[in-house]
Structure formats: C-alpha cells, structure tokens
Amino acid sequence: MKKTLILQAPAKINICLWVKEKRSDGYHEIASLMQTLTLSDTITLQDCRTEGIHIECDDPAVPKGAENLVHKAACLILERFNIPPSIIIRIEKRIPIAAGLAGGSTDAAAVMAGMVRMYEKMLPMVELMTLSQKIGSDVPFVMHGGLAIASGRGENLSFHEPPKPSFFVVIAVPKKVSVSTKWAYENYAPGENSRKEELFNKIFPCYKKRDIESLKNLVFNDLESVTLQRYPEVQEIKETLLEDGNGVVLMSGSGPSVFGLFEDRSSAVKAASRLNQEKVNV
C-alpha cells in the first residue's frame, strides 16, 4: 500500500447546457458539452494511524465533515473493499467554491480514483465511474476528464478528443457570490425554443473545428435565465469579456463563473485585463 499519494482534480466548464424536463427522480434531463481545464485542486491522500476520515483544507469555507463530497467518496471506496477508515485527505483549493466549475465533484472523483491506487485495489474505470454516480452527476465526467457530450442527468457520456490546438480560456468569478446548483435547477422554468436541438447539434462540430465565429451564435446555458436575474454582476462579467467580440463567452453550469474561449493568448489576456480584479477573481 502507498502511504501518500498526490493527485490533481481538474475543473470543468459547460460549453453548452441545455436543461430539459424534470424527471421522476427529481433531477432534470440535460444535454451538455463539457471540457476539463488545467485549473485544478491538489488532493493529497495519506495513510494515518488514527481511525477515521480526516479532511483538511486551506480554504476555511470547505466543510471538513460528512457533508463534504470527498468524505462520501472515501466512504464508498472503503465500503467497496471493506477497508477500515484511517486516512487523511488534504485539499488545496484553486477552483472557486460553488462556482459552476465542479470543484466539489472533481475533488470527490480524485479521492475515489486515488484511494483505489493507494490501497492497490483493482476496479476498472467503467465500474469506478458507475460507482461515482452515487455522489453526483458531474463526478463520472471529471473522473475521466477531457471532452464529452453528456445526456441523462449528466451521467451518460460520449467522450471525444479535444480540439487541437486548445483554446485559451479565461475564467472569471465574481467575489462574494456563490450559487447553489440545487437552487438554480429548482428555480429554472423551461421556455419554448424549438431551435435548441438544432443549435445543440451544431455546437460540437464547430467546437472541434475551433470555429469561434459560429460558436458565438450557437452556445447557450439555460441556467443563465436564473442566475443572471439574481446576480447582475455575472452579466457584467459577460459583457466585459465580450467587449472586443473576439471570444465565446458563457456562464458555466449554475454559475456564477463565466468563461471566455479565445483563439490566441493575446486576446485572452486583453479580455482578462479589462475585468475589475477588486470585484472579480480571474
């Protein structure tokens, strides 16, 4: 058994998020194109002599108890292999909390995959991803990483090679704003738009071709109708990043994070420089 293991847990963005009808299990049916980023948290797993699951984090806002998704992730692996709990999980946060970037989900995914390695157990990735659905809809995707089209409640995934070269990405999150995913979905009212399926089907081919101009007119996030109404500062960030018209700009997930996709580094840097960093984390 490995005594210590250090892992990276990447953030993700929704390049498109189509929210459909509410299902009988309480979740919404969705369709989304998702991509993981180089922005990541660092997770350290360490065996210890003290019984229990001990969570440490450099961000005081992160819960240290059973309500943390990494605690649930650790319990799943310990129960799956009948291992007594005696582990320290250290989280170095770089992904903003409650920002629509899957920060909690990706930490949980890293813990699950890492514990399988740490305890030198055998569990195929497909089985691990299936097990991870018990934690949350985003967990299987961030566990695998890359680029995928998601359907169902987010657990049905079709993976693809990301475009090359990759886009330059700006992530902007308004300070002092956090959004509950549950709140956003509960307050979402589906509207009538007969073109959504047509738009969604065009997004992936354009993304693969790095067709910025077409993507500008195609991408959408249905949860913007909820979050932007409650938090106008998110709309302000979008408008600032869109000023030069060089990028594709959208809110990710339930927000409040906003991302911009740019073809070149200079355009990304210029767009980011216009943001008021007293109010926005970039």
Residues annotated as part of the active site: 12, 138
Retrieve residue 19's tokens.
């929210």
- Beta-bridge mates of residue 170: 260
Phi then psi for 56, rounded to 5 degrees? -125, 145
Phi then psi for 245, rounded to 5 degrees? 70, 20
First to last CA, the chain: 39
| Environment class of 86 (CB within 10 Å of its CB; exposed 0-12, middle 13-18, buried 19+) | middle
Check: CB of residue 105 under 8 Å from CB of residue 73: no
The residue type of 92 is: E
30/154 Cα distance (integer angstroms) = 7
3-state helix, strand, coil in the chain (%, to 5): 35, 30, 40
| Environment class of 273 (CB within 10 Å of its CB; exposed 0-12, middle 13-18, buried 19+) | exposed
